[in-house]
């Protein structure tokens, strides 16, 4: 599957690997955690807390037991489990919330990208404090750096049959757990799931998964560039129950208006079974960008798949005009044109086959089958070790950290400048001091790439955690300050500089070219500098890269570097510079690039429920699978 040949640029393997996906036979700890988090039954043991993506293990032993049961390792204990969790730090799947016991936070950035872009995590309702509505703009969520464009670019690979087939098979086989002894866990989970599916309405179903906040905002924030769009108050909470943020656009109706790129016809195609109302459908895409429909499709599909896989809320589904995303089940509805795209539909269908919910399911399935992640590219794993906390901290901390960590408080909402905002208000004070040392490491390093991202989810958290979590904690819960995607910029910039060439893009020019084209399309006139790809490359390239890769790249780059030379991470000086630059020029572009993405993402509002229900089912199915001892 992995083609070694690949350059390796895109996302981390785990992000797209089938194995990573929930449906996969071998469950991974983080999947498991996610699973538990989504179930209320376990909310006593583990639950979302505070910031997005942040969860607390209330009963470590129990969690360990459950995990052990799942893996058929009776000896599992929290210590081991936590080690496993720690292992994820390097992968950036999660990180520890300092200062809080048993509290970790998911970095969905990457995950999101590939597997599920819109995710949010949060507490579902179950969660007590945190659940709340997002504060104002929830900004936590960030778009995946890579975004579709990247994906698209690599589309080549996407289609590779090999992957699909293999995946498909896997999925198909998939479910069924081997572990007979399956402890209660399995059964419980399964049951629970089942219950959710059927009995409960969709709302509930997913509610657990997602977090209260809404990612959308973040999206917006990221993309401000479309000035027109302004994504004012994206978050609407349509559904009271659901914790999630709601669909973004809908609220402000105006926002939506802008439609997608001109290139595409805006026509909303209701192909999707769950398609939301057409009008709503197009989210925010700015007029600026246009994607290639196919690409979009792929992206969407992938996204969809992820959604299903992870039980994300329906909102997660993207809606894009002209593009049809196949749904997993429910073939009955329409089988629109699923063209080759098909989707993702995954395992569920297969595994589900057992339940023919939708009458004619069979046929539909075929079409869709696909793998989870259509995209193949991956970035390389960037793990790097961050060993030197201390060292780094001293150095880097200062400037970079600040920038990166933004506390920003709701700027987005208000400000929402068309451009990106750079560092918000971050309170330097607190952050710096505090963070500097401890955090610094993380922040620095990560922040480069991730923190921001990661933080994005919990912007506040980071800083505070050390000092005081208190405020962040639930009080508002949300606390979401803001966003800051500014960080991104910074980050990006950095990266750019560093690894300009790297790119992913394939080897060479060609690769790059591919990628860019999209960009070009997207970009609009004014802002971004579209310019031809070639030309663009020089400067724009960087920027672009930044955006895309931004995080990943940075990390990787850094990581690589670090690895190669030494682990220390220090490149801050450079970074800083980069940041500055990036801002200047980058801002616009950023917006553009990302904006596009955002646009893609948009979630559809209303209608999704169905989808969600299905999703649920699917998920349920998946969850059942687990086990294989």
Partner DNA sequence: CCCGGAACGA
Partner DNA sequence: TCGTTCCGGG
- Give residues in contact with DNA (CB under 7 A): 13-14, 28-29, 60, 71, 73, 75-76, 78-84, 86-87, 89, 91, 96, 98, 100-103, 381, 385-387, 389
SS3 content of the chain, % helix, strand, coil (to 5): 50, 5, 45
Choice between 12 and 234, CB closer to DNA = 12
Choice between 81 and 461, CB closer to DNA = 81
- State in angstroms the smallest separation of the CB of 33 from DNA: 11
- State in angstroms the smallest separation of the CB of 290 from DNA: 35
- State in angstroms the smallest separation of the CB of 65 from DNA: 12
- State in angstroms the smallest separation of the CB of 25 from DNA: 11
- State in angstroms the smallest separation of the CB of 575 from DNA: 20
- State in angstroms the smallest separation of the CB of 552 from DNA: 15
Q: Which residue has the tokens 């399911």?
A: 361
Query: Which DSSP state fits 606?
Result: G
- State in angstroms the smallest separation of the CB of 16 from DNA: 11
Instruction: Return phi, psi of residue 335, to 5°.
Output: -115, 45
Choice between 200 and 629, CB closer to DNA = 629
Show Cβ contacts of residue 291 under 8 Å, excluding neighbours closer than 6 positions: 148, 149, 152, 260, 261, 263, 264, 299, 518, 521, 522, 596, 600
Q: At what angle do helices 587-601 and 215-222 cross, to 10 degrees?
A: 150
Question: Hey, CA dihedral for 568, 460, 139, 309, is it positive or negative?
Answer: positive
* Torsional class of 50: left (φ above 0), alpha (ψ -120 to 50), beta (otherwise): left
Choice between 366 and 566, CB closer to DNA = 566
Buried b (16+ CB within 10 A) or exposed e, 371-398: bbbbbbbbbbbbbbebebbebbbebbbb
DSSP lists the bridge partners of residue 46 as: 57
Token code pair at residue 32: 């498991």
Choice between 311 and 389, CB closer to DNA = 389
Determine the Cα–Cα distance for residues 486 and 557; give it in Å rounded to an integer.
20
- State in angstroms the smallest separation of the CB of 153 from DNA: 22
Choice between 473 and 496, CB closer to DNA = 473
Output the DSSP codes for 39-101.
-GGGTTTEEE-SSTTEEEES-HHHHHHHHHHHHT-TT--HHHHHHHHHHHHHHTSEEE-TTST
Show Cβ contacts of residue 565 under 8 Å, excluding neighbours closer than 6 positions: none
CA diameter of the chain:
63
Q: Are strands 94-96 and 46-48 parallel, antiparallel or unpaired?
A: unpaired
Choice between 102 and 289, CB closer to DNA = 102
- State in angstroms the smallest separation of the CB of 15 from DNA: 10
Determine the Cα–Cα distance for residues 570 and 575; give it in Å rounded to an integer.
9
Determine the Cα–Cα distance for residues 499 and 549; give it in Å rounded to an integer.
10
Choice between 26 and 353, CB closer to DNA = 26
- State in angstroms the smallest separation of the CB of 157 from DNA: 17
- State in angstroms the smallest separation of the CB of 58 from DNA: 11
Q: Which residue has the tokens 């809320």?
A: 313
Determine the Cα–Cα distance for residues 95 and 116; give it in Å rounded to an integer.
18
Q: Which residue has the tokens 């690039």?
A: 593
DSSP H or E segment with residue 590: helix 587-601
Q: Which residue has the tokens 């070639």?
A: 534
């Amino acid at each position: 599957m992995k083609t070694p040949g690949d350059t390796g640029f895109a996302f981390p393997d785990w992000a797209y690997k089938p194995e990573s996906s929930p449906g996969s036979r071998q469950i991974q700890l983080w999947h498991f955690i996610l699973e538990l988090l989504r179930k209320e039954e376990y909310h006593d043991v583990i639950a979302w807390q505070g910031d997005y993506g942040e969860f607390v293990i209330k009963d470590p032993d129990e969690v360990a037991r459950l995990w052990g049961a799942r893996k058929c390792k009776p000896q599992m204990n929290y210590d081991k489990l936590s080690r496993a969790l720690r292992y994820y730090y390097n992968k950036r799947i999660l990180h520890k919330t300092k200062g809080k016991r048993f509290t970790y936070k998911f970095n969905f950035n990457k995950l999101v990208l590939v597997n599920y872009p819109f995710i949010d995590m949060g507490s579902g309702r179950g969660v007590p404090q945190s659940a709340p509505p997002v504060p104002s703009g929830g900004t936590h969520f960030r778009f995946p750096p890579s975004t579709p464009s990247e994906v698209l670019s690599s589309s080549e690979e996407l289609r590779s049959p090999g992957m699909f087939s293999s995946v498909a098979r896997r999925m198909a086989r998939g479910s069924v757990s081997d572990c007979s002894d399956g402890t209660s866990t399995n059964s419980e989970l399964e049951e629970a799931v089942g219950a959710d599916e059927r009995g409960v309405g969709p709302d509930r179903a997913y509610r657990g998964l997602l977090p209260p906040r809404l990612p959308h905002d973040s999206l917006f924030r990221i993309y401000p560039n479309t000035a027109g769009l302004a994504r004012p108050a994206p978050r609407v909470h349509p559904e009271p129950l659901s914790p999630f943020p709601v669909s973004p656009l809908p609220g402000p109706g105006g926002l939506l208006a802008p439609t997608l790129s001109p290139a595409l016809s805006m026509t909303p195609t209701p192909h999707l079974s769950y398609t939301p109302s057409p009008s709503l459908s197009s989210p925010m895409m700015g007029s600026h960008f246009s994607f290639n429909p196919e690409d979009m499709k792929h992206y969407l599909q992938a996204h969809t798949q992820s959604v299903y896989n992870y039980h994300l809320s329906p909102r997660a589904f993207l809606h894009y005009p002209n593009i049809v995303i196949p749904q997993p089940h429910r073939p009955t509805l329409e089988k629109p044109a699923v063209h080759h795209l098909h989707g993702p539909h995954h395992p569920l269908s297969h595994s589900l086959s057992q339940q023919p919910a939708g009458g004619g399911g069979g046929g539909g399935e075929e079409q869709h089958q696909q793998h989870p992640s259509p995209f193949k590219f991956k970035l390389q794993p960037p793990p790097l070790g961050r060993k030197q906390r201390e060292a780094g901290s001293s150095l880097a901390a200062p400037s970079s950290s600040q920038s990166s960590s933004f506390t920003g408080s709701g700027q987005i909402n208000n400000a929402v400048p068309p451009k990106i905002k750079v560092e918000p208000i971050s309170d330097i004070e607190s952050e710096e001091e505090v963070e500097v040392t401890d955090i610094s490491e993380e922040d620095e390093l990560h922040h480069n790439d991730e923190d921001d991202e990661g933080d994005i989810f919990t912007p506040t958290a980071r800083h505070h955690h050390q000092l005081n979590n208190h405020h962040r904690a639930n009080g508002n819960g949300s606390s979401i300050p803001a966003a800051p995607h500014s960080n991104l910029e910074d980050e990006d910039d950095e990266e750019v500089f560093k690894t300009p060439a790297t790119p992913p893009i394939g080897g060479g020019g060609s690769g790059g070219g591919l990628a860019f084209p999209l960009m070009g399309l997207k970009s609009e006139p004014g802002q971004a500098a579209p310019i031809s790809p070639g030309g663009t490359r020089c400067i724009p390239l960087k920027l672009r890269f930044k955006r895309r890769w931004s995080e990943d790249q940075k990390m990787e780059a850094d990581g690589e570097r670090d690895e190669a030379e030494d682990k220390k991470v220090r490149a801050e000086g450079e970074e800083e510079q980069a940041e500055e630059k990036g801002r200047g020029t980058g801002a616009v572009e950023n917006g553009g690039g990302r904006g596009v993405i955002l646009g893609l993402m948009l979630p559809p509002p209303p209608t999704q429920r169905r989808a969600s229900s299905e999703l649920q089912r699917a998920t349920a199915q998946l969850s059942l699978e687990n086990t294989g001892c």
